[in-house]
Structure 1
């Protein structure tokens, strides 16, 4: 089975559990924290045409629609889109939801002012191809915001695995325990084959985005104090979330 299909099948089964986490975030400080962070880095103008890539259960769709933007949200799985659509409707907001492979977008050139994603790029089997597509659909002076972490270097690097295990032990002392996936074994198997399980970030992203054609670039290597709670900081201390910002 081709890698993209494996990825889609896997995430279909994770939708319900991830949807629960959206409501935890919506009802915490995180909704405002992410709103403020996006507001700082988005291009000028309002409302913007925004593409939420890999929306999952719709957290960013909710945040961006709540900011007054025209949101199109894509995901490669039907179950995630169903959760996202329902979650967005529950808070009285709207977005356009489409099933789509983020490596191959069906939109015309220069369609969006802002593209963004969170915890999505690590799942890409060909990030270079995806970044070229994202550049294509951005308007001139449009911006791309990537929020992610080196989640799976531990799958291929023993030193990173050791750091991860140390983090889990220290977090357990504080009463925090990592919540596993519905099918952890399959997730780990797929992860070991992915590009970003062998590639240190955000250094790679910087070079790739410049090569793709982005004219301006901004990187913040650790945004955890702004958007993570104490549990996440403890569990994932060695893999801080970063921001990569590119302007076309």
Structure 2
């Protein structure tokens, strides 16, 4: 099991941490969407999410009410909308939400995009069937509290679905630096990321990332039941080569 950095001590100022994270991703929005748009493996994610819904909520037919938290430019939200679900997307970076709305329109689907943090959530009507997040937990100052907040908007028997992995190990940071030196296009992203997060890593307990065991533990502490690993649903090409390690898909139910 991957342990958190510094014993999961709470950050001195969670609001300041969230704001610094938001500013970085606001700056990163355009280049992030360029990376997402170039992904050749989108169908792999559609298949994984479709399979996850079938396992987690058997017998439930579309449209489900889905909340995608930390939605970024809408990759997951749009995927679930294309699968026929009623999707609300929450994202704090305004530049990201603007792209998400544009991309949803281009895909011919509707998603309800809200500007707000993963914790605390903006005002939302309860009764969601599913809460999703992709590559988000490592960016949160208190992932247990965030997971508990998401549970509060789920209907009884609803589920949370988490995709994550190991992102910022020393080896990966070295790779990022080396890529920056070799590629002028990649250099601003690599250096800006390291500069933005250098002062944050001690306030983000899973800055290095997390594994399946850590994710299950977080879900249990947040009050979920029967945490389940669904990594077998992830195709080998779900993530680009060199993009993190130890990728997983995990889920749990609200009581």
Q: Could you say which TM-score interval applies, normalised by the shorter chain?
A: 0.7 to 0.9
How many aligned residue pairs are there? 229
Tell me how far apart the structure 1 counterparts of residues 215 and 120 of structure 2 sit (CA, whole Å).
19
The equivalent of 2:69 in structure 1 is 53
Say which of 179, 183, 194 aligns to 1:185.
194
Question: Gapped runs of 5+ residues in structure 2?
Answer: 1-12
For 2:156 and 2:130, how far apart are their aligned partners in 1?
10
User: Shift of the alpha carbon at 1:151?
Assistant: 0.9
Correspondence for 1:196: 206
Partners of 1:224 and 1:241 within 8 A in 2? no
Matches within 5 A, 1:48-197: 48-107=64-123, 110-152=126-168, 154=169, 161-162=170-171, 165=174, 179=186, 181=189, 183-193=192-202, 194-197=204-207
1:18 aligned residue: 32
Aligned Cα RMSD in Å? 2.9
**Partner of 1:101: helix, strand, or coil?**
coil
Partner in structure 2 of residue 7 of structure 1: 21
CA shift at 1:96, angstroms? 0.5
2:52 is matched with 41
1:107/1:137 contact within 8 Å kept: no
Q: Which residue of 1 is the match for residue 248 of structure 2? A: 242
Partner of 2:215: 205
User: Aligned equivalents of 1:85 and 1:206: distance in 2?
Assistant: 32
Cα pair 1:168 1:177 within 8 Å, conserved: no
Say if 1:53 and 1:102, in contact at 8 Å, map to a contact too: yes
SS at match of 1:197: coil
Q: Deviations over 1:89-130 (max 9, x none)?
A: 112111010011111123457421011111111111111110
Structure 1 residues not aligned, in runs of 5+: 155-160
Equivalent residues of 1:10, 1:186 under 8 A apart: no
Structure of higher RCO (CA pairs closer than 8 Å, 6+ residues apart): 2
